[in-house]
Structure 1
């Protein structure tokens, strides 16, 4: 039998780890982010072989999302102990009202916990196990969501996030998943299979199981091509960041916590938007869409001309962009404080003469209205008679402010503003930018709030076929 040290997979993995190790100071300690999956198991095993157990520390984050999380923690600790490596773990609780997906919340919590564990132990280098397939999936996901250069740059081989205590290094980024699996098999490693990785409701899993296998058949070199795309995007992004740093010198106020309103607006739109993106990254804020940033810049220019900067408020991911006394700044937002109606981004109105369609795709909203058959469930307030949808043209349009609806079936129940209903239900401001569904001139359905009972006929035959309306956003990017 061929020994593991003589196989191509073994040689590639050890060379990759050795190359990253050579860039570190002698005797520098290495923290390995360890989930227990095959990728991080390969990385940890190889690091111990190349650097020695004494230079390593294994860091595990317990999210509590799976019923098997405790068993995974025990497995990871045992794996580290078998190799004589120091082990540390931290349990995190995810915020479910952060306005982001569970996957994104888990990722952010994981990196925060890993960085805190590195800082507390004086470790300046955190090694991660992402590989070439992960990189290709990330580039594809970013392309599909229309990301800019920063998104297309995907994962860097080495990256020092602003404010983080440890530099993140990805030694295996140029190796294929198949090569890592071959190494694990040859080394008889035991690893965890996370059941959520097979759930194709999530965008990354859908690409992994249904799209990239087909690409591999017709475009065998697609991973290398996408890696080159990421490298080109990263190079271009570095140039944009260099320009933004120059512009920050002119526009920055209060040690970068604010921008000069006049200095920002002195730049053309492309340059001003580049500065806003860079500024948000330096503050550690979640990236905003091009549409939201473009709307913010438009409003900043309008209020600049009118001299009414105090009126600006644009909510984004728990923060609010404000302009006051010549400064533009972010302040902590509150989901109970609705965004100003004037801050709502308008989109083109879409129309549909409904003839029984089950889906209505709205690309400008990055989502779809689903019309699902619901039988004759007359007691379900979320369903409506199918004939109502045929009564007039369906229209999907933006909020303009002041819209009202009645959520109760009681005929004399008062209507209430969408603003009050969103606030009452605790829907964060950044989730209120949704398409309103009208039937003719009547508001019919609001995602997150349901059916406007005032738009339905007073007399409904219990035997009528009914439809449930659902608003479904595009697959989350995880």
Structure 2
């Protein structure tokens, strides 16, 4: 039940929050992204009044970009505790990849952290505090950048991004900043002011402080007009996405991680570019410019479907576009580097003193090593004596490049690089980011390739228990 409103601003905010709450089950918990600014402070305060403190969870992300970041975290925790709300925070590092602005990198890191915190807690939805002024600024920015319909559609009131754990909702999207500030003043809410918001070197701040005030004088209804533009663009974009989904059915390979070169090039330019935009967006990439996508399609047409894309020079958001054996995909790294998997970021080494465990969960790899009893009599030859696993500490490591192994049982067979073995077996680059299993300092097992026979002893006890190692990604674990 919505509390009795005391003022017009109070009524507007409580009604907006109440509407979003009405779409959820009666006992559903809500996570609120709390930066400590006026907007998110208003959202949390109103959510507590309408839903009750027990149903709310305040989440804060510490970017470390400001000297005041620690103070902001402390303020947010105190603000939540004063209202009896559970509080959680996570610290992130903002990457500085070439071609990605600090704003975009911080936003991506923030949403990843928020989603991780939601996934580990029993919440039904994540509420964000963007409002009508934010929406108008976003549409203007996208217009000035020459964005397509997806950009002009700006911020949706409710959406579930690819890979996100919960739906994101913007209850205040139709309210003005001035209405939120009036609510905060009437409720005597204490908030913080990020000093970077006044820096007009950032495009959004320049619009907020220098452009939209002038628009408000000459075009008082510009916010509503831009909101309608966003709604029309969103409607048109849904139609383009429906077409892209149809095209993905014929062009998608490996669960959407790659596109068929033949199928992509069979479309005319407009349709192929629409498919590429949809593919990148649903894969979690930030939007690429029309010029970059157009250049990518031109280069793909030049090399032809049968050719290898070693000459492709398309970099975007820390990845390079590759073409390999009739597939088009994105690989971590730079296009000036050799097309291989070793550019992938290294993960922390995990160790296990094996004592007969049947599974070894590796969270950083999102998968599990399974140690299963082997049936040698049934012809299962790719097995390991149990004594080898106990010989030294097992470790799971990232590839660093140049690793070699021998897959042949013949003792005089030469070892070969993992890169060559992966290529020989047609394993695409994005599947080669797997943990290498070492026993001591010796490479023992590589997922998708098998056992390194150079590590096994020449003489084995036929009666000894043998083990088969299996690598299972999280999706395959029952």
TM-score between the two structures when normalised by the length of structure 1 = 0.68
**1:373 aligned residue:** none
- How much has 1:157 moved relative to structure 2? 0.2
Q: Deviations over 1:227-254 (max 9, x none)?
A: 0000000111111011000000011111
**2:286 aligned residue:** 286
- How much has 1:301 moved relative to structure 2? 1.2
Is contact 2:37–2:194 with CA below 8 Å preserved after alignment? Answer: yes
Aligned length: 337
Provide the secondary structure at the position in 1 that maps to 2:304: helix
Q: Deviations over 1:26-51 (max 9, x none)?
A: 21000000011000010000000000
1:12–1:320 Cα change, 3 Å: same
Is contact 1:124–1:165 with CA below 8 Å preserved after alignment? Answer: no
Q: Deviations over 1:259-313 (max 9, x none)?
A: 1111111111100000000011121122211011111111111111784545434
Structure 2 unaligned blocks of 5 or more: 340-478
- Inter-partner Cα distance in structure 1 for 2:318 and 2:74: 36
Provide the secondary structure at the position in 1 that maps to 2:168: strand
Aligned residue runs from structure 1 range 327-366, under 5 A: 327-334=327-334, 337=337
- Inter-partner Cα distance in structure 1 for 2:290 and 2:6: 50
Is contact 1:309–1:325 with CA below 8 Å preserved after alignment? Answer: no
- Inter-partner Cα distance in structure 1 for 2:202 and 2:252: 39
**1:258 aligned residue:** 258
- Inter-partner Cα distance in structure 1 for 2:142 and 2:292: 17
**1:160 aligned residue:** 160
Question: CA RMSD of the aligned region, Å?
Answer: 1.8
1:129–1:233 Cα change, 3 Å: same
1:185–1:305 Cα change, 3 Å: closer
- Inter-partner Cα distance in structure 2 for 1:310 and 1:95: 27
**2:198 aligned residue:** 198
- How much has 1:336 moved relative to structure 2? 7.1
Moved more, 137-146 or 293-302: 293-302
**1:245 aligned residue:** 245
Aligned residue runs from structure 1 range 46-445, under 5 A: 46-304=46-304, 307=307, 309-334=309-334, 337=337
1:128–1:308 Cα change, 3 Å: closer
- Inter-partner Cα distance in structure 1 for 2:53 and 2:200: 38
TM-score between the two structures when normalised by the length of structure 2 = 0.68
Q: Deviations over 1:161-188 (max 9, x none)?
A: 0001011100000000000001011111
- Inter-partner Cα distance in structure 1 for 2:144 and 2:38: 27
1:207–1:4 Cα change, 3 Å: farther
Provide the secondary structure at the position in 2 that maps to 1:5: coil
**Higher relative contact order structure (alpha carbons within 8 Å, sequence separation ≥ 6):** 1
Moved more, 12-21 or 304-313: 304-313
Is contact 2:313–2:336 with CA below 8 Å preserved after alignment? Answer: no
